[in-house]
Amino acid sequence: MKAWVAAAAIAAMPLAAASAQAPADEVTFIHTGRLLDRPGEAPRGPSTIVVREGKVAEVREGLVPPEAGAKLVDLSNRFVLPGLIDMHVHLLGIGGDPVRARMTALNRDEADDLLEGVANARATLLAGFTTVRDLGGDARMIRALRDATAQGLVDGPTIVNAGMGIAVTGGHGDRTNGLREEFADAIDAHQFHLCDGPEDCRRAVRRQVGLGAAVIKFKATGGVLSNVSGGLGRAMTPEEMKALIDTAHELGRKVAAHSHAKEGTAAAVEAGVDTIDHGSFLDDATIALMKRRGTWLVPTMLAPMTAGQQAEAGAYPPAVLPKAREAAAAARESHRKAIAAGVKIAFGTDTGVSKHGLNAQEFALMVGAGMTPAQAIKAATVDAATALDRTATLGRIAPGMAADIIAVDGDPLADIRQLEDVDFVMKGGKVVKEDRP
């Protein structure tokens, strides 16, 4: 789709704000009941957050009266913490309705997907996720949505976009799989994200960067939801992986590997990948390798469970069902072992498989796999910001940080499911959700 078409589609939406942050002269005092300003550390008692020009200016002890002309947000009976970060979403995905996706595949335009992405972005933000890493969607459309949310044209999280995930011909990500010839030929002419051989994979990375990708994703293994019966084994050669990872790093982009089979995960880690997403089949040797190399795991525990349920209900082609069963059966134990071993964990959901706005359901699965609520929250704030290399602006409530702030009614350190019902959301100093008690 032409860039101006995407821009026109966004422009047709009602304006949500003049900018992504509060006006430059606006000052807000936020009174908190309990404040988890630095996840991983103990929460504070009643405190006051001072927000100026969309950033946190001060955090003071006690409930400080607002200065003249400042706004007051009273969260003195709420638990307040930084906005959450989801490291693996697909905002341009239908989200929890695969039957609809299949039925409408040939009669939806890209503009339909983009406008649905606007709604998905808003649902994500209202759920308390103020930053996301989008790991697969039309490169031009997700760039347009990223810029529109940054400018405040639509309400949505900060988007760190990958564009199309890089894959091999015939693998997970080849959109011609299972299509009849005339449709496959038409689509194949636009599959710039496919590559075969190290040099071609360098080209594919450069192409996605040229289309605006802020991060690179590639498919190290087969995938559950692709209409390919080749299983979940390694799809790329180690040489292909190293070529694309090195090229991305040279261009200043971090790299995420979609990976299920341990052979694909190990090869990606050896090649220098930054995050392993899914990691459904992890043995002790691969876990030790990830620890030694400092590789992050983004478990996406919600995805195999959801995909398995959908596949069992007949929502996907026959090739999907055995893969969904296999991944769902193995993932929980793999993630439990990785958590127990001390692999670095960053929060991610693969939302788009599940419904947008339900991202926080991942927390209970993380706790069920062995993390404490405090560790799970840290994985979605401080640790995710570290994995994104954005610790200067995200993950904490501290002077100089973006004023991305949420609040819940109860204590998520005692009951992690409190995060499934966020009462208050501030993005860049602008209040976008405020449910009164």
Domain of residue 56: give its range: 27-82+395-434
Do 342 and 422 lie in one domain? The reply is no
Do 421 and 348 lie in one domain? The reply is no
Structural contact between residues 213 and 132, judged by C-beta atoms closer than 8 angstroms: no
Determine, yes or no, domain membership for 56. Answer: yes
Q: Give the span between the Cα atoms of 22 and 24, in whole angstroms.
A: 6
Determine, yes or no, domain membership for 307. Answer: yes
Q: What is the pTM of this model?
A: 0.90
| Structural tokens at position 270 | 């050896």
Q: Are strands 275-278 and 296-298 parallel, antiparallel or unpaired?
A: parallel
Do 47 and 175 lie in one domain? The reply is no
Determine, yes or no, domain membership for 191. Answer: yes
Determine, yes or no, domain membership for 4. Answer: no
- Buried b / exposed e along 62-89 (16+ C-beta atoms within 10 A): ebeebeeeeeebebeebbbbbbbbbbbb
Type of residue at 421: D
Nearest Cα residue to 414 out of 369, 380, 376:
376
Determine, yes or no, domain membership for 21. Answer: no
Nearest Cα residue to 410 out of 422, 427, 426, 425:
422
Determine, yes or no, domain membership for 209. Answer: yes
Instruction: Please give the chain's pLDDT, 437 residues, in tens.
Output: 444 444 444 443 433 334 567 776 799 999 999 999 999 999 999 999 999 999 999 999 999 999 999 999 999 999 999 999 999 999 997 665 655 665 666 677 788 889 999 999 999 999 999 999 999 889 999 999 999 999 999 999 999 999 999 998 766 665 545 555 655 555 555 566 889 999 999 999 999 999 999 999 999 987 666 656 466 768 899 999 999 999 999 999 999 999 998 999 999 999 999 999 999 999 999 999 999 999 999 999 998 778 777 777 777 777 777 777 877 788 889 999 999 999 999 999 999 989 999 999 999 999 999 999 999 999 999 999 999 999 999 999 999 999 999 999 999 999 999 999 999 999 999 999 998 66
- Separate counts of helices (H) and strands (E) for the chain: 14, 14
Q: What angle do CA 33, 123, 80 make, to 5 degrees?
A: 10
Crossing angle, helix 110-126 and helix 139-151, to 10 degrees?
40
Sign of the CA dihedral with 364 first, then 366, 369, and 371 last: negative
Q: Measure Cα distances from 92 to 95, 105, 194, 398 in Å.
A: 8, 13, 19, 32
List CB contacts of 62: < 8 A, sequence separation 6 or more: 46, 47, 48
Determine, yes or no, domain membership for 73. Answer: yes
Determine, yes or no, domain membership for 14. Answer: no
